Amino acid sequence: MNKKLLAVLFILAGLAAVAAAADSAWGARAAAGASDLTIESMLTYALQDEYLARAEYIAIQQTWGAQRPFSNIQRAEENHIAWLVEAYKNYKLPVPKDDASRYVKIPASLKEAFQAGVDAEIANIAMYDSFLADPLLARPENAALRDLFTRLRDASKNHLQAFRTGLARY
């Protein structure tokens, strides 16, 4: 191959890697790097993260069979999604579509699946903690959203414990 073609291929490969890295920032990962949060951006990151958790737990069960705690937590994520959709309606905002399947990574083993659950719940808790610390949620008109984010964070603490218990078996 000539040098010009190799240079073009190298540049294109670099651009693809940058695009893939940018594309992987979704849900709690994207929220971790966000500044100047708005009610809509908080709701979006939260919904994306709940979509992603549900999709990952479904994929894990499709790979290794339905089992606890993945099956229980999947159902909980469906409730969380419904609560967030209701919040979107209360704020008269359009509900983002579920693109979570683009971001699902199936772990190579059941042990890695439990570790992925631990990591996801830690990131989810950190996301909700950052939202709850935002001055926007201290406003009286956002009290219901503050309560919702608190419930979601606390549920994630329970999920985290369940995944840690599962991981401890390995």
The C-alpha atoms of residue 56 and residue 49 are separated, in whole angstroms, by: 10
- Domain of residue 34 covers 27-167
Q: Provide the number of structural domains found in the chain.
A: 1
Question: What's the pLDDT band for 142 if we cut at 50, 70, 90?
Answer: very high
62-115 pLDDT, tens digit per residue, is 998 888 899 999 999 999 999 999 999 999 999 999 999 999 988 999 999 999
Which domain CATH number covers 53? Answer: 1.20.1260.10
- What's the pLDDT score for residue 157? 97
Answer yes or no: is 92 within a domain: yes
Average pLDDT, the chain: 86
The amino acid present at 44, given as its one-letter code, is T
Is 70 exceeded by the pLDDT of residue 11? Answer: no
Q: What is the pLDDT of residue 147?
A: 97
Q: What is the model's pLDDT at position 24?
A: 60
Nearest to 71 by CA among 83, 59, 84, 85: 59
pLDDT digits (tens, 9 = 90+) for 20-65: 333 467 888 888 888 889 999 999 999 999 999 999 999 999 998 8
In a domain, 9, yes or no: no
pTM (predicted TM-score):
0.82
Residue 120 lies in a domain: yes
pLDDT digits (tens, 9 = 90+) for 121-137: 999 999 999 999 999 99
Residue 19 lies in a domain: no
Confirm whether 15 is domain-assigned: no
CA–CA separation, 143 and 55 (whole Å): 29
CA distance 29 to 135: 21
| Residue 116 placed within a domain | yes
CA dihedral 141, 146, 152, 155 (to 10 degrees): -130
Q: Is residue 85 part of a domain?
A: yes
Residue 10 lies in a domain: no
Backbone phi, then psi, for 130, in 5-degree steps? -65, -40
Q: Count CA within 13 A, CB hemisphere, residue 68.
A: 4
